[in-house]
Amino acid sequence: MSGEGKVVCVTGASGYIASWLVKLLLDRGYTVHATVRSLDDPKRTEHLLALDGAKERLSSFEANLTVDGSFDAAVNGCVCVFHTASPVIITSVDDPKAELLDPAVKGTLNVLKSAAKVQSLKRVVLTSSIATVMFGVKLPESGGVVDETWFSDPVTCEQAKWWYQVSKIQAEDAAVKFSKENGVDLVVINPGYVIGPLLQPTINFTSDGFMSLIETGKEIFPDGINITVDVRDVATAHILAFEKPEANGRYCVVRDVVRSSEIMMILDKLYPDLGYSERKLLIRKCVEALPYSVSKEKAESLGIEFTPLEISLNDALESLKEKKFLNP
């Protein structure tokens, strides 16, 4: 196994992407230091402890994004740190600085400061977002392509009070600056809207949005366009970003740019007895060509083989049903 004998750290390990990252790392033979906000919360730890290999190669650490030195113990002795921990709040935010900006930016810098102290460290892989790539800018039309050279406009995002986007922009910028100034090898993963099966016992933001789309037809995004990727592909991208020495810079990790109406048609085909097409959905059917795509070229250069949308949608729905979040 490629990870045999190697120790890595995953911050925010109980999260949606991070839980899959921990699972796949254990499957590849890695020893994993998993940080969670509270070791006393079974919802953050039990599903990780139940993973194959966890008994032998998983250690849990309590860490707080806004506490200096909080990640020192977890990062010590690691060859890679996968920093996934960051708040995800898209709806109303009462105090953007306290709820989003400080945990995202200070948390990222705290993790990097801990990582910079570790002589064994080879690389830090940061979970960023497509939110840092294509918000607050004029998107291409008529088949244009978005890629890693695109950057969201922080001023526009702040004026629009898109605080989640602002938090991810500031955190990525702070990480890049710190890594350059302190000689830390940093690779950034920018996933789209993440769907697929859940490992954790709680509902996460993207899965909740997908469930709302299924149940009510409420659009996830105002324009009805979804930039989707399977959670397992995102986790795999993180691992390959560490394992491939030539990995560098940012990686847009997106499988499909697809309209909500197309998602519903696929689900109707997969589950004809559930009558999705007969419900009074708010989605308007649209046959217009999509205005843009997101480049897969750099992500595929890592060796990612993207999961087909139909499989992601099917596995997401089955997982939501199994965990009793969705009762069609």
Provide the token pair at 82: 């996968």
Provide the token pair at 131: 């939110």
User: Which DSSP state fits 272?
Assistant: G
d(CA 328, CA 315): 15
User: Which DSSP state fits 140?
Assistant: P
Q: Please, are residues 327 and 181 in contact by the beta-carbon 8 Å criterion?
A: no
Q: Among candidates 136, 138, 131, 139, which has minimal Cα distance to 159?
A: 136
User: In the beta sheet, which residues pair with residue 81?
Assistant: 9, 124
Strand order of the β-sheet with 80-83 is 58-62, 31-36, 7-11, 80-83, 123-127, 186-191, 249-253
| Phi, psi at 292, each rounded to 5° | -155, 170
Provide the token pair at 76: 């010590």
Residues 6+ apart with CB under 8 A from 69: 110, 113, 114
Residues with a known catalytic role:
168
